[in-house]
Amino acid sequence: MENSSHLSRRTRREEAPCMQKNMYVSRRMAWYSLLLAALVIILAACGGESNTATATSASTNASTTIVGTTNTPSAPSPTPTPTRSVPTPTPTPHRSTPTPTVSKPTPIPTPPKPTPTPKSALTMVVTITTQSNGTFAFSPQALNVSAGTTVIWNNTTSAPHTVTGSSFGSGTISPAGSFSFKFTQAGTFAYHCMFHPYMTASVKVS
């Protein structure tokens, strides 16, 4: 009986350190487990926060994209400014330069030369007339001519007459008749009418 009690005491004494050691190990294991659990929780918390941040960032980006796509009004497209069509210039045909024509000077009109008045007419007329008193006469009675002049006597009366000079004579000149003579030499030539001796006249040739 004593031996058994003594053995049990001894056993208890031997078991006490083992139990203490086991308790120490258990406590350490419990501390390690708590530390490990705390570390896991911390890591889980950090991972969750990063995931949450990532998810939040992704959702924020998505919402931003959605909001930008859906809610943000699209900027009005600029109205195209009408482009003015520049008219194509019509090519101007090249005109050949005209050869300048040398203008001829306008000739100065030469004033017509006046017809020289002959010193004496080539033909002169003497009229045999009836005067107001009924007598006859040569008109003009004195005639000046140049050499080469022809004198014509016209009888405008109703009576016959003659033109009689020293170097020429007409014979009878009937009414409405005539006689002509060309004086070629200078001098004074007197004449008369044989039917009417008072009818006298002269021709001066120069």
Q: Which residues pair with 155 in a beta bridge?
A: 128
48 token code pair: 């969750």
What SS3 state is found at 146? coil
H/E run at residue 128: strand 123-130
Q: What is the C-alpha to C-alpha distance for residues 52 and 48, in angstroms, rounded to an integer? A: 6
Q: What is the C-alpha to C-alpha distance for residues 82 and 189, in angstroms, rounded to an integer? A: 115
- Per-residue confidence at 2, pLDDT binned at 50, 70, 90? very low
Q: 92 or 72: which carries more pLDDT confidence?
A: 92
118-134: per-residue pLDDT in tens? Answer: 454 589 999 999 999 99
Task: Specify the residue for token string 């056993």.
Answer: 11
Q: What is the C-alpha to C-alpha distance for residues 77 and 153, in angstroms, rounded to an integer? A: 123
User: With contact defined as beta carbons under 8 Å apart, do 28 and 36 qualify?
Assistant: no
For position 110, what pLDDT does the model report? 78
Q: What is the C-alpha to C-alpha distance for residues 63 and 67, in angstroms, rounded to an integer? A: 6
For position 143, what pLDDT does the model report? 96
pLDDT above 60 for 194: yes
139-166: per-residue pLDDT in tens? Answer: 999 999 999 999 999 999 999 999 999 9
pLDDT above 80 for 176: yes
Q: 34 or 155: which carries more pLDDT confidence?
A: 155
User: With contact defined as beta carbons under 8 Å apart, do 204 and 184 qualify?
Assistant: no
Instruction: For Cα atoms 37, 42, 43, give the angle at the middle one, nearest 5 degrees.
Output: 95
What SS3 state is found at 17? helix
- For domain 123-205, the question of CATH label 2.60.40.420 is answered with yes
pLDDT mean across residues, the chain: 76
147 token code pair: 């050499």
40-81: per-residue pLDDT in tens? Answer: 888 877 765 555 444 444 444 434 443 334 445 555 566 666
The domain limits of the chain are 1-65, 123-205
| Distance in angstroms between the alpha carbons of the first and the last residue of the chain | 229
Task: Please tell me the least confidently modeled range out of 68-77, 84-93, 100-109.
Answer: 68-77
User: With contact defined as beta carbons under 8 Å apart, do 136 and 130 qualify?
Assistant: yes
For position 23, what pLDDT does the model report? 73
Select from 152, 163, 161, 170 the least CA-distant residue to 190.
Answer: 163
What SS3 state is found at 80? coil
